[in-house]
Structure 1
C-alpha cells in the first residue's frame, strides 16, 4: 500500500509588504573545496547579530557556533515550525537550522521554504535564509517554482534575504541567478564553469580560472586559503581577495 504524503501545514502568508528594502539576495558558487560554506560563515554577507535560518542537509551549521552564536538544529518539521515562529516573535538574534530527514530533496526544500515564507514581515528584523545544496533539490535550470521561487522573487519586500550555495551555476534555476544581486565566486572545477560565470557577470574568464581553492592551497602552502571574487551591482564593482577558511581571517592576494 502506497504511503500517504502528509497534508501541507496551514501556514499564513507574510505580512507588511515593504518595497523599500534593498535587494540583497546572494549567491555562493565554487567547486568542491572552494570555500562556499566557509564564506557564508566568515565573509560577513550574513551580519553577525542577524536572525538566520538554514536549510542544512549536511549539518554544516547545526550544533556549532555561527559568528559566536550557537546554531540549534532539528530534523523534526513540527519542532522547526515552532522554533522559528517563537524566535521571530522574540525579535532577537538567533541561528536555527532545519536538517531534512530525507536530505537535499525538492520536497524538503519546499517545506522549509513554505515555513520561512510564512514568517516574512516587512517591518520586522530581516531574516537571512541560507540554502545549502540548492542544485540537489531542483530539476530545472528554468523558473524555480513553489515557495522556494517565491522567496527569491518576492522575499525582499518581506525582509527575507536569501543566500544560495551551490557548485555550478548552470545547474540552478535562472530565478536564482536573476534575482541575486550579490555573487561570491570561488575557484570552480572547469573552464566551462568559469566561462559561464564570466558571461553572466561581465568578468574576466582568466581571473576566474586562476582562482585558487582552499583545497589546493592546503596542499600547496599548508593553509586552507580560498581566493574569491565578490561581485555586486554596478560596472566594475568587483573585489578580488582571499580568506582563511579555518580562521575566517580576510587576506589580500599578497598571501601568495
Structure 2
C-alpha cells in the first residue's frame, strides 16, 4: 500500500516537472540571423522586418553578434530610440561580442548601436515581449465586407422639352421723317441803280428882241420936255433872267 502511494507521488511530481519545463522553455533569438548585428547597407528597415517574423516572450534571450569595438548594444527608451539619442542609455552599453540580453519583462523593448551614425543608418531594433504562457496572437482573417448590391435606381424622369418661347417679331419702326431741305432764300436781285434824272435840255433863249429904233420924236414944241428914251441894257438883263429861271424849273422837274 505504501509502495503504491509512493509511485503515485513520483508520477505526480514527474508530470508537474514536465509541465514546468514546458512552461519555462526559452527561445534564443539570433538578432539578424546570419547577417548579425551591423549597419544594414542595403535596407534600413532590415531589423524591423526581421523582428516582425519573430515571437518574443519573457525569459527568451537575444544574441547580438558583431565585430567587437566596432559596434555596441545600447538599451534605450522609446524617445531616445526615435531620436537615435545615446546620451541616456538604460544600463551599461557592452562593446564586446557576443552580447546576450534576457527578456525579463513584457512590453516593448528598444535597442540600437550608439556609434555615431549607425542608428540613423538603420542599426536599431524594436520588439514586443509577450508573457511566458501567452499564446502568440493569431491573426484571424477578416471576412471581406459584404458587397453592397447596387439598388437599381429608376431612370430620371424624362424632361419634356418645353417649346421655346415665341420669338417676338420686331415691329418695324417707321423711319424718322425726312427733313425736306429748305430752299435757300431767294437771291435778292440787286436793283439797278436809279437812272440819273434826265438831263434838262436847255431851252433856247428867247429871241432877243431887237431894240426898236426909237420913233422919231414927235414934233413938239420946244417948251415941253422929251420922254425918257428906252434903255437897251435893261431888256438884255430881263431876257437872261427868264432863261435862268427856265433852266431851274426844268432841273426841278
Q: Which one has the largest radius of gyration?
A: 2
- The two structures have a TM-score, normalised by structure 1, of 0.17
More strand by share: 1
Higher RCO, 1 or 2 (CA under 8 Å, sep at least 6)? 1
More helix by share: 1
- The two structures have a TM-score, normalised by structure 2, of 0.17
